Structure 1
């Protein structure tokens, strides 16, 4: 039985690639920053971490939310898409009272037809963060109705 070469995908196979960027902070645990599987991009939770230092940005939840969304954007760009390709977001908050503050920052990145979203208050986040944002995006051209 012959096996397809590495350059010839098997029928029905799905592309799976790891997405990372020098603009993205190094992972703090054994996970990939993002995985593209077919036309779906799964982005791991983003903290408000400065990629240059690996530390949380100072300034509270608003600054952390801004940096988390910037980090998310860096991964989207590497995958060849942007914020308009995001279809689902999960927001984890250390304090649900920060919900309105985060919404003000979030709205700047998703001004029209924002993705589906859920937000939860959690017991704690890595590095003592105030917010973590994960997302799912579609890779390819987006058409809206």
Structure 2
């Protein structure tokens, strides 16, 4: 099996040994994304809506770079620091998906920095597997 590493242009530096995305057999696996900018600074501290939007835009960048779209996402994993943010996160999340959103789960968890309120990972089944707008390595 070959796999393609997907790193969108202007990706933030990773906080651990991982890559933003990996495509294998037409399936894109997107790492858990956080509200972090290209300089490694936290975005939207204290604001779940800003952080959720930033995280979903980071996911969109990976999916786009892999040649897909947000409608290709079939599954997402959501981690919230505080379940009191569940409704506001959902309202922002719903802006990114049509009437048939992906399957998902959402749990409360401590995140890697105390200022992070949400982390989202995703799986997308790509209609095609060409990558664009990314640095890629085929393994």
- Superposed pair shares fold, TM > 0.5: yes
Specify which of 100, 120, 127 is matched with residue 133 of structure 1: 120
Q: Distance in 1 between matches of 2:12 and 2:84?
A: 27
2:134 matched to which residue of 1? Answer: none
Helix, strand or coil at the partner of 1:120: strand
How many pairs does the alignment contain?
126
Name the counterpart of 1:32: 19
**What is the CA–CA distance in structure 2 between the aligned matches of 1:23 and 1:137, rounded to whole Å?**
21
- Larger radius of gyration between Structure 1 and Structure 2: 1
Q: Residues 23-79 of structure 1, C-alpha deviation per residue, up to 9 Å, x if partnerless?
A: 32121111111111111110000001122x211112511111000000000000110
Distance in 1 (CA, whole Å) between partners of 2:64 and 2:7 is: 10
Unmatched segments (≥5 aa) in structure 2: 129-139
Assess if the C-alpha contact under 8 Å between 2:8 and 2:65 holds in 1. yes
- Between Structure 1 and Structure 2, the one with more strand by share is 2
Match of 2:56 in 1: 69
Q: In the alignment, does 2:95 pair up with 1:84?
A: no
Kept after mapping to 2: 8 A contact 1:23/1:71? no
Question: What stretches of structure 1 of length at least 5 have no aligned partner?
Answer: 1-13
- Kept in 2, the 8 Å contact 1:89–1:115? The answer is yes
| Contact 2:35 2:44 (C-alpha < 8 Å) held by counterparts | no
Separation (CA, whole Å) in 2 of partners of 1:21 and 1:80:
11
The answer to whether structure 1 residue 102 and structure 2 residue 89 are counterparts is: yes
1:44 aligns with 2:31: yes
Q: TM-score with structure 1 length normalisation?
A: 0.82
Instruction: Answer yes or no: is the 8 Å Cα contact 2:35–2:43 preserved in 1.
Output: yes
